[in-house]
């Protein structure tokens, strides 16, 4: 738009100047021509007046004197030769008009125009001229007065000529018309030249402008063609250099961007950039995933308020510009559910001011799970180690105990033998045998305990009632021997178990109940099953001596015995606990206290939860 | 169980009756001035010392000059008994000697941390047991001095 007006303005200025100059020139030409023509006309008229006066006046005198008719003929001939002489008169020296050319043609005679100027002119013996305002609207008239000198310098007559400029008008008009034509032609030529000049001057500018516009629109390959050979060509070359540099820079920027884009889009990491006010500007995840996982703002990352420690990390990055990181649980990138991400936050700085944030999130769900699993395993291992240590300690202590008895009484027997005392011999030997038996039993039970979990028979579905029946068959003799009545509830469910082990459990619990029947006159054991919420709890209840609450845990400890007077090694309940735990269940005792009976309860893992059966485990207490 | 005027009254806390018998014979082999009271578990030991229940009569539960304490006991183990004895001002002054089969480092440290006055391991041989009983008697009767309030 600007360049158009520049061209137009230039053309208009040139045109105006040319028009003014040509017009002035033409006017001046016309005026000069007019003045020259007028002068020539006047010259001719004067010459005519000088030449015609003599014959006119002479023939008029003759005519006056002799009535000679030739005067009119002569006057008419002369007058016809001077077309610019509008009229002529012959006057006497007093100024009286004697003859007027109007008389030659039919029409009204002119009024006698007389004035002092004319009379004075006639009295001089000189040629005189004056300009008169004509009575008609034809403009000026030149009046030439020429005296007719006779012999001896006297004059009696004078001829007066009225010279009209009328013939000039036509000529001047023709001349002016010609001039006008030339002027117009010159104007046209000038206009054409002007436009061509303007175009020539502005074409490089237009080229530069168009080039600049195209580059501004992004066509960085555009170059301008300026061959004007002047400063504009220099400008054009500079422009092309600049465009080339811009193109190179842009190409470099594009390549760089492309590298980053490829890197970011191919990265196995979720990458986000955020504006200063925490709006997500860019995200390398697919649209739908980004909307679901990330949202539009940082605050929406978690779908709810970010945890305070995460907010602290982000604020820290905003304030210090130093990177930070945190872990956060978000919807998983693939599929349903949630995943843990380790998110690293960086600051985008401009002139030392943080103007945005970058977030890179790595799915660390697996690593986290592995870490948790590792920690769990370590804890488990530590627990097992402690258990093993306790087990070793217990075993060494409790195995030494009968050894001390054996060796001690052996010594006693020896010294008694030396001294020949025999009164306590059989008693001591009995003690030694009992200790040896005890040790033997301990070792067998320990071996049994260590087998549990190591030798895991495949689990099978078996009716619990069947298990109970089998256990009763084993311990039935001992039970009936101590007068214990065994009751088995109806409707016991099926269980998944290592059958032989579960029989051992029930057997030990029945034995235990018989051992601690106390002074009960009608000792009873009842085997049943109850539903505790989702859990099936198997119970073996007795009406024996019961267990105080503070001993509810210790009864299951290896070699832990509440009453040293009751036979047993303290392995039975430890074995029960071990077998139940290997079956994925737990065991505990319920009792209202001493003398009020006890109820041993245990659970087993339901097959749905543990289809593979009992877990294998290392032996421990 | 009690002698008319025993020079040294000992409370033996031992759950294994065989061990208790061996220790008794150890003392019997040499001594004439030891009165040995035996209890089978920690709770009974504390009941004896604080004269509760069956032990309410001070004649049945004279203050011992020495407690021989096994660590592994039913109901209440030796450490708990030790803690309780050393916690109570009236029992604190009674020398308490741990007598056990355990040679575990943790047991020794735990015993001394609970202010046990000595830590002895039951010897396997009868002769050595007799010797130990004699040493205990000698040491705590002959060499060790105690304030009158305790006796």
Question: What is the mean predicted confidence (pLDDT) over A332-345?
Answer: 85
What residues form DSSP beta bridges with B9? B35
B41 at A interface, C-beta within 8 A: yes
Question: What is the mean predicted confidence (pLDDT) over A307-319?
Answer: 86
Residue B42 has pLDDT above 50, yes or no: yes
- Predicted pLDDT at A610: 41
Instruction: Give residue A1's pLDDT band: very low, low, confident or very high (50, 70, 90).
Output: very low
Residue B108 has pLDDT above 90, yes or no: yes
Residue A126 has pLDDT above 80, yes or no: no
- Predicted pLDDT at A616: 42
Which among A398, A409, A564 is the nearest to B74, CB-wise? A564
Residue A456 has pLDDT above 50, yes or no: yes
> Hey, are the CB atoms on B129 and A410 less than 8 Å from each other?
no
Neighbours of A479 (CB within 10 A): 20
> Hey, are the CB atoms on A408 and B102 less than 8 Å from each other?
no
* DSSP symbol at A307: P
Which among A397, A412, A564 is the nearest to B101, CB-wise? A397
- Predicted pLDDT at A139: 59
pTM (two decimals): 0.49
Which residues of A lie inside 8 Å of B (Cβ-Cβ)? 393, 396-398, 400-405, 407-412, 414-415, 431, 434-435, 551, 559-565
> Hey, are the CB atoms on A412 and B126 less than 8 Å from each other?
yes
User: Nearest-CA residue of chain B relative to A554?
Assistant: B75
* DSSP symbol at A140: E
- Most trustworthy range by pLDDT among A108-117, A386-395, A538-547: A538-547
User: Nearest-CA residue of chain B relative to A392?
Assistant: B104
Residue partners of A460: CB distance under 8 A and separation at least 6: A496, A497, A498, A499
Which among A396, A411, A431 is the nearest to B126, CB-wise? A411
What confidence tens digit (pLDDT) does each residue in A494-539 have? 888 888 888 888 988 888 888 888 777 888 888 998 888 888 899 9
User: What proportion of chain A, given as a percentage, has pLDDT over 90?
Assistant: 5
Task: At A543, list the tokens.
Answer: 């009406």
What confidence tens digit (pLDDT) does each residue in A578-588 have? 888 888 888 99
B151 at A interface, C-beta within 8 A: no
- Give how far A576 is from chain B: nearest CA, Å: 19
A615 CA to centre of own chain = 55
- Predicted pLDDT at B54: 82
Q: Residues A532, A519: contact at Cβ < 8 Å? A: no
Residue partners of A35: CB distance under 8 A and separation at least 6: none
Neighbours of A253 (CB within 10 A): 10
> Hey, are the CB atoms on A403 and B124 less than 8 Å from each other?
yes
User: Nearest-CA residue of chain B relative to A549?
Assistant: B75
B21 at A interface, C-beta within 8 A: yes
Which among B74, B104, B124 is the nearest to A562, CB-wise? B74
Q: Residues A472, A510: contact at Cβ < 8 Å? A: yes
Distance CA A510, CA A479 (A): 8
Q: Residues A538, A505: contact at Cβ < 8 Å? A: no
Question: What is the mean predicted confidence (pLDDT) over A153-157?
Answer: 72
Q: Residues B122, B104: contact at Cβ < 8 Å? A: no
- Predicted pLDDT at A519: 78
Question: What is the mean predicted confidence (pLDDT) over A32-46?
Answer: 86
> Hey, are the CB atoms on A404 and B124 less than 8 Å from each other?
yes
User: Nearest-CA residue of chain B relative to A570?
Assistant: B74
Residue A257 has pLDDT above 80, yes or no: yes
The distance between the two most distant Cα atoms of chain B, rounded to a whole number of Å, is: 40
- Helix, strand and coil in chain B, % to nearest 5: 40, 15, 40
- Span of A255-269, A505-519, A605-619, B41-55 with lowest mean pLDDT: A605-619
Q: Residues A395, A418: contact at Cβ < 8 Å? A: no
Residue partners of A398: CB distance under 8 A and separation at least 6: A442, A558, A559, A570, B72
- What residues of A are in contact with residue B101 (Cβ under 8 Å)? 397, 400-401, 404
- Give how far A562 is from chain B: nearest CA, Å: 5
What confidence tens digit (pLDDT) does each residue in B80-95 have? 999 999 999 988 889 9
B17 at A interface, C-beta within 8 A: yes
Which among B22, B40, B106 is the nearest to A409, CB-wise? B22
- Predicted pLDDT at A562: 63
User: Nearest-CA residue of chain A relative to B23?
Assistant: A408
- Predicted pLDDT at A406: 92
B13 at A interface, C-beta within 8 A: no
User: Nearest-CA residue of chain B relative to A412?
Assistant: B126
Question: What is the mean predicted confidence (pLDDT) over A67-96?
Answer: 79
Which among B15, B101, B106 is the nearest to A404, CB-wise? B101
> Hey, are the CB atoms on A405 and B16 less than 8 Å from each other?
yes
B105 at A interface, C-beta within 8 A: no
- Give how far A590 is from chain B: nearest CA, Å: 17
User: Regarding predicted confidence, which is higher, A61 or A502?
Assistant: A502
What residues form DSSP beta bridges with A326? A343
Which among A398, A431, A560 is the nearest to B18, CB-wise? A431
What confidence tens digit (pLDDT) does each residue in A552-583 have? 777 777 766 666 556 666 778 888 888 888 88
Task: At A246, list the tokens.
Answer: 């811009």
Distance CA A189, CA A284 (A): 68
Cα–Cα distances in angstroms (integers) from residue A344 to residues A262, A274, A324, A581, in the given order: 20, 13, 6, 44
- What residues of A are in contact with residue B21 (Cβ under 8 Å)? 431
| Cα atoms found within 13 Å of the Cα of residue B98, Cβ hemisphere only | 29
- Give how far A434 is from chain B: nearest CA, Å: 10
Q: What is the mean pLDDT of chain A?
A: 80
- Predicted pLDDT at B118: 93
Question: What is the mean predicted confidence (pLDDT) over A348-367?
Answer: 87
- Most trustworthy range by pLDDT among A8-22, A212-226, A294-308, A502-516: A502-516
- Give how far A517 is from chain B: nearest CA, Å: 18
């Amino acid at each position: 738009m600007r360049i158009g007006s520049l061209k137009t303005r230039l053309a208009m200025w040139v045109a105006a100047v040319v028009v003014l100059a040509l017009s002035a020139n033409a006017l001046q030409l016309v005026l000069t021509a007019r003045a020259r023509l007028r002068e020539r006309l006047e010259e001719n008229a004067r010459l005519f007046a000088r030449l015609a006066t003599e014959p006119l006046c002479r023939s008029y005198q003759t005519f006056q004197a002799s009535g000679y008719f030739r005067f009119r003929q002569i006057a008419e001939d002369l007058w016809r030769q001077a077309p610019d002489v509008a009229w002529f008169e012959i006057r006497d020296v007093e100024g009286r008009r004697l003859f007027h050319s109007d008389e030659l043609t039919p029409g009204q005679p002119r009024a006698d125009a007389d004035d002092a100027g004319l009379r004075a002119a006639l009295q001089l013996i000189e040629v005189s001229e004056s300009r008169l305002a004509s009575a008609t609207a034809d403009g000026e008239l030149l009046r030439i007065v020429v005296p007719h000198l006779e012999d001896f310098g006297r004059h009696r007559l004078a001829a007066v000529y009225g010279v009209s400029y009328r013939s000039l008008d036509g000529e001047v008009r023709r001349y002016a018309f010609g001039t006008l034509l030339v002027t117009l032609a010159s104007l046209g030529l000038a206009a054409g030249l002007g436009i061509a000049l303007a175009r020539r001057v502005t074409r490089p500018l237009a080229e530069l402008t168009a080039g600049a516009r195209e580059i501004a629109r992004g066509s960085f390959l555009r170059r301008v063609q300026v061959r004007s050979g002047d400063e504009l060509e220099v400008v054009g070359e500079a422009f092309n250099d600049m465009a080339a540099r811009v193109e190179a820079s842009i190409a470099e920027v594009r390549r760089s961007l492309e590298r980053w884009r490829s890197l970011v889009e191919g990265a196995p990491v979720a990458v986000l950039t955020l504006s200063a006010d925490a709006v997500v500007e860019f995200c390398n995840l697919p649209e739908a995933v980004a909307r679901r996982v990330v949202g539009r703002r940082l605050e929406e990352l978690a779908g709810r308020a970010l945890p305070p420690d995460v907010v602290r990390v982000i604020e820290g990055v905003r304030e210090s510009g130093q990177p930070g990181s945190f872990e956060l649980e978000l919807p998983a990138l693939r599929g349903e559910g949630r995943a843990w991400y380790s998110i690293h936050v960086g600051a985008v700085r401009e002139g030392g001011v943080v103007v945005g944030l970058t977030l890179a999130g790595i799915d660390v769900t697996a690593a986290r799970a592995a870490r948790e699993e590792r920690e769990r395993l370590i804890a488990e291992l530590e627990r097992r180690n402690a258990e093993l240590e306790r087990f070793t300690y217990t075993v060494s202590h409790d195995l030494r105990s009968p050894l001390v008895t054996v060796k001690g009484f052996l010594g006693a027997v020896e010294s008694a033998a030396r001294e020949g005392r025999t009164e306590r011999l059989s008693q001591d030997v009995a003690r030694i045998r009992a200790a040896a038996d005890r040790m033997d039993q301990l070792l067998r039970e320990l071996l049994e305990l260590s087998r549990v979990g190591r030798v895991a028979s495949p689990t099978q579905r078996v009716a619990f009632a069947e298990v109970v029946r089998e256990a009763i068959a084993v311990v039935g003799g001992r039970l009936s021997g101590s007068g214990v009545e065994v009751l088995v509830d109806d409707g016991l469910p099926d269980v998944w178990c290592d059958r032989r082990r579960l029989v051992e459990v029930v057997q030990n619990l029945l034995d235990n109940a018989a051992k601690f029947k106390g002074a009960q006159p009608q000792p009873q054991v009842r085997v049943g099953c109850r539903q505790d919420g989702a859990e099936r709890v198997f119970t073996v209840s007795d009406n024996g001596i019961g267990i105080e609450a503070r001993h509810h845990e210790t009864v299951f400890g290896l070699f832990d015995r509440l009453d040293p007077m009751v036979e047993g090694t303290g392995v039975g309940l430890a074995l029960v606990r071990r077998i139940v735990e290997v079956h994925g269940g737990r065991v505990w005792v319920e009792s209202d206290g001493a003398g009020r009976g006890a109820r041993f309860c245990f659970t087993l893992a339901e097959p749905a939860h543990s289809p593979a059966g009992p877990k294998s485990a290392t032996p421990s207490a | 169980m009690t002698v008319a005027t025993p020079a040294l009254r000992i409370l033996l806390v031992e759950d294994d009756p065989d061990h208790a018998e061996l220790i008794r014979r150890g003392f019997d082999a040499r001594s004439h001035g030891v009165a040995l009271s035996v209890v089978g578990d920690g709770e009974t030991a504390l009941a004896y010392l604080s004269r509760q229940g069956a032990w309410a009569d001070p004649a049945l539960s004279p203050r011992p000059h020495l407690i021989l304490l096994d660590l592994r006991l039913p109901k209440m183990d030796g450490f708990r008994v030790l803690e309780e004895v050393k916690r109570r001002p009236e029992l604190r002054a009674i020398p308490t000697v741990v007598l056990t089969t355990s040679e575990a480092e943790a047991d020794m440290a735990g015993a001394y941390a609970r202010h046990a006055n000595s830590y002895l391991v039951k010897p396997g041989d009868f002769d050595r047991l007799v010797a130990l009983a004699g040493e205990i008697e000698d040491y705590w009767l002959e060499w060790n001095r105690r304030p009158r309030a305790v006796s």
